[in-house]
Amino acid sequence: MLGYVQVFKPDLKVREYEIYMGYYCGVCKYIGSEYGQLPRMVLSYDAAFLALLLACVDEEPDSPKQEHCIAHHIKNKTIIRNRAIEYAGDVMLILAWYKMLDDAHDEGKVSAKATIRLMKRLHRKLQKKYPGLCDGIEINLATLGGLEENKCANLDEAAESFSKIMEVIFREGASLLYPSSQNLHETFARTGYHMGKWIYLIDAVDDIEENIESGAYNPLLYRFEYLDSETPQQFRDRIRDNLEFNLYHYLAVLSEQTGSLDIKKNKGIIDNVIYFGMNRKTEEIINQKKHEGEPDESI
């Protein structure tokens, strides 16, 4: 995941924000204790939401604790620990591994190659722990890579492989946490799939200027036939209505999926992310403006 799935802080209650950060810090603490300090650099708020959503149907209440944080040693931080948090931390590291491989292959980044050497043993451990998950991600990444090489102009086809990755992640998580509930496995899988649709498209919109300058693949540039005679802003204006329709449609379907869950806890946070955080992120990226209220990772 790419860092787009966040809360809108001003609309959260103080207690809800504390729980949200408790999940975020819980993922960070888990990664540090299990894998060391370097892997904590891959952490994003996507991990907190993945854990929150997977844990929301669990009747076991959250048990926040105040613990010392190596990065913020002046005062203790609220930490929550559960199996969903551990899974989210593992997923972040698995995705980071494949992102580093992609950077090293496509861009020849020296930093990525060095990090790969350091994290190779860690990835082998995760691959052994989650063979089905890693296989599913690899298969869909390979399909996505082929589409990118062929400059696929079909937006739905390009988004499908990434959506399938998200589907695999959510299904695997639900299977681990709720092994006896096939209905939950499918509901979470559909939730991940539709979230993946939105993430893939919003990332493509966000990267328009960068991809035009670098020549990197962006499905929007081929689907809507970017013209050398137009500026990036003119291109954005030309396709704006289509982007808004698709992005808000994906969010509407996603909200239907999460609405079908029998949520036992943290519903206010989950609704905030979907109805406020992701909607405002959509508006921000389409209109290229920054909103106040995003969580501060330095907190």
Residue with tokens 């149907």: 57
The answer to whether residue 52 sits within a structural domain is yes
Listed in sequence order, the DSSP H helices in the chain are 14-35, 45-55, 83-106, 110-129, 131-149, 155-177, 182-206, 208-214, 219-223, 232-259, 267-271, 278-287
Q: Which residues lie across from 77 on neighbouring strands?
A: 67
> What is the distance between the alpha carbons of residues 4 and 70, in angstroms, rounded to a whole number?
26
CATH of the domain at 135: 1.10.600.10
**In the predicted structure, residue 299 carries a pLDDT above the cut 50:** no
* pLDDT given for residue 90 in this prediction: 95
Q: Which of 267, 289, 280, 286 is nearest to 16 (CA)?
A: 267
Q: How far apart are CA 168 and CA 164, in angstroms?
A: 6
- Check whether 79 has a pLDDT greater than 80: yes
- The residue assigned the tokens 């979470």 is 188
Angle at 225 between CA 219 and CA 230, to 5 degrees: 115
Q: Domain total for the chain?
A: 1
- Residue 103 belongs to a domain: yes
Residue 222 lies in a domain: yes
Q: What is the mean pLDDT of residues 152-166?
A: 95
pLDDT at 297: 47
pTM: 0.90
Q: Which residue, among 159, 184, 177, has the nearest Cα to 263 in the 3D structure?
A: 184
Amino acid type, 211: N
Domain of 39, in residue numbers? 9-287
Contact between residue 130 and residue 172 where contact means Cβ atoms under 8 Å apart: yes
Residue 170 lies in a domain: yes
Percentage of the chain surpassing pLDDT 70? 90
Give a yes or no: residue 268 inside a domain. yes
User: What does the mean pLDDT of the chain come to?
Assistant: 89
Best CA proximity match to 7, nearest among 297, 271, 257? 271
% of the chain surpassing 90 pLDDT? 75
Residue 254 has pLDDT above 60, yes or no: yes
pLDDT score of 122: 86
Condensed to tens digits (0 to 9), the pLDDT of residues 27-78 reads 999 998 888 876 777 788 999 999 999 999 999 999 888 887 766 666 788 9
Express each pLDDT in 1-37 by its tens digit.
578 999 999 999 999 999 999 999 999 999 988 888 7
In a domain, 265, yes or no: yes
Indicate the length of the chain as a whole number. Answer: 299
Q: Among residues 297, 259, 293, which one has the least CA distance to residue 276?
A: 293
CA–CA separation, 258 and 136 (whole Å): 23
Note whether residue 83 is domain-resident.
yes
> 79 pairs with which residues across the strands?
65
Q: What is the pLDDT of residues 210-234, one digit of tens each?
A: 999 999 999 999 999 999 999 999 9
- 279 phi, psi to nearest 5 deg: -65, -45
What count of other Cβ atoms lies within 10 Å of the Cβ of residue 265? 17
- The span from the CA of 275 to the CA of 272, in Å, is 5
Instruction: Tell me the pLDDT tens digit for each residue of 97-142.
Output: 888 777 666 555 555 566 677 778 888 999 999 999 999 999 999 9
